[in-house]
Amino acid sequence: MELILYCGDLECIGVLYTLDLIAPVKAFKGYEDPRAPGCRLADKTIVIIVQNTISYVIKIGMVHDIQGPYPPINTSPNGD
């Protein structure tokens, strides 16, 4: 495994340190997640660029909750 993407609702920041033992982790805050020192968790969105070869680049966008005008995607703190 080369990269772990975690999309919020950790409840415990220590999970990130455990996952780091397996592979690098990119994560961002969910509703209930505690504040982490430094920039351990992104606040809203994150874009990860993965380049496997020189022939192509993969961009992965991650978001915990979309509150934009288009398209509306309604979510609640409990995930409903």
Give the residue ranges of DSSP H helices in 23-78.
none
User: Does residue 67 form part of some domain?
Assistant: no
How far is Cα 38 from Cα 18, in angstroms, rounded to an integer?
Answer: 18
Give the total number of structural domains in the chain: 1
Summarised one tens digit per residue, pLDDT across range 7-28 is 767 777 788 888 889 988 888 7
Summarised one tens digit per residue, pLDDT across range 19-70 is 889 988 888 766 666 666 555 566 666 677 777 667 777 777 776 666 666 5
Domain with 11 in it: 4-62
User: Does residue 30 form part of some domain?
Assistant: yes
User: Does residue 73 form part of some domain?
Assistant: no
Please check the confidence at residue 76 and state whether its pLDDT lies above 80: no
pTM for this model (two decimals):
0.59
